[in-house]
Amino acid sequence: MGYRVVVAGATGNVGREMLNILAERQFPVDEIAALASRKSIGTEVSFGDKTLKTMDLDTFDFTGWDMALFAVGSEATKKYAPRAAAAGCVVIDNSSLYRYDPDVPLIVPEVNADAIMGYSKKNIIANPNCSTAQMVVALKPLHDRARIKRVVVSTYQSVSGAGKEGIDELWDQTKSVYNPVDDKPAKKFTKQIAFNVIPHIDVFMEDGSTKEEWKMVAETKKIVDPSIKVTATCVRVPVFVGHSEAVNIEFEDHLDEDEARDILREAPGIMVIDKRENGGYVTPVECVGDYATFISRIRQDSTIDNGLNLWCVSDNLRKGAALNAVQIAETLGTRVLKKG
């Protein structure tokens, strides 16, 4: 016997990817429902070798469904997630709405799977921010060995993190650069994204940081350890899919680069590609469509007593969103619901 699974937001980038990954990983599904907003009702989406027609999220009855993977944004989540949860359907939410709620577990299964037992307080589980998810997969095994004091991270985040509008804007602007009569001003982003980088993701906060940077700080503390100090600079770059991060880590104990490399090679969800030669590292182009978080450029930081640098790359639509949500569903199934 398998699960009755709902995917809400099934016509968006992340929703479609959730359906793909559920099929790829042969998640034990008895029945699946693809939901979308009223304007997208009847849109066809793929689930393995099947084609599903989307149904109306607004009128859907969640009673009798085991779990719902939400990829609909915070406003719609605020309306529909409590409705699903009250009907006994466990919500796995990809928006930022519940991430900082102390009664909602924020889960990256390779890092803090045990925290999933806290789902029962609200029948909701939160999926972290895409840039946080890939970083904490790398931090956790190193933290277990040498205890992390401080992390300094600079991100290079692809436009797919801003949805279809972000992808379209990069595509259209890139083409318009070569056509002097085709001007494509910035709409989704605050400045031109084609052939440019923008040190601004989400809204600005009072202290000068952006909300994206604040998310990385707060979520790392909640998922890994509240004592870790984190400072982040988040940058949008003209890449379609795949987030990259330059991560500087300061430890309480000494950890040399060779041991760190060995630890990361053995860690779940990580692939180490670290050769000190031309091309001996991973870039976003190579990570697209892959489940792994790739780690390269592991080296000592000689400016502090116990420091390491590394380069972290992952498909943000997968590990940063859809894959992590499906992994949460798998964890929920094996540890709690125990069907299939």
User: How would you class 226 by CB atoms within 10 Å of its CB: exposed for 0-12, middle for 13-18, buried for 19 or more?
Assistant: exposed
Burial-class residue 303 by CB neighbours within 10 Å (0-12, 13-18, 19+). exposed
Residue 225 CB neighbours (<10 A):
16
The CA-based angle 166-168-169, given to 5 degrees, is 65
Please check if 180 is assigned to a binding site: yes
Q: Judge whether 20 is annotated as a binding position.
A: no
Per the annotation, does 161 bind a ligand? yes
How far CA 53 is from CA of 27, 47, 202, in Å, comes to: 20, 10, 33
Is 243 designated active site? yes
Quote the pTM value: 0.95
Among 130, 234, 287, 312, which one carries the catalytic annotation? 130
Of all helices (H) and strands (E), which one includes residue 153? strand 148-157
**Known binder of ligand: residue 289?**
no
Is 166 annotated for ligand binding?
no
Q: Does 39 count as an annotated binding residue?
A: yes
Is 157 within any annotated ligand binding site?
yes
Copy the structure tokens of residue 261.
């490399």
Identify the segments of the chain with pLDDT beneath 70.
340
- What was the pLDDT predicted at 338? 86
Distance, CA of 279 to CA of 257 (rounded, Å): 19
In this prediction, residue 95 carries a pLDDT of 95
The closest alpha carbon to 103, from 87, 85, 122, belongs to 122
Q: 3-class SS at 135?
A: helix
Nearest to 194 by CA among 148, 237, 249: 237
Select which of 89, 143, 234, 243 is catalytic: 243
The amino acid at residue 54 is T
Q: How far is CA 126 from the centre of its chain?
A: 11
The confidence score (pLDDT) of residue 204 equals: 98
In angstroms, the CA 73 to CA 217 distance is 21
Q: Binding residue per annotation — 229?
A: no
Q: What is the pLDDT of residue 340?
A: 63
So what's the pLDDT on residue 314?
98
175-213 burial code (b ≥16 CB/10 A, e <16): ebeeeeeeebeeebbeebbbeeebebbbeeeeeebbebb
Q: Other CB atoms closer than 10 Å to residue 150's CB: what's the count? A: 15
**Structural contact between residues 298 and 245, judged by C-beta atoms closer than 8 angstroms:** no
CA distance to 88, 269, 328, per residue, from 18 (Å): 21, 18, 12
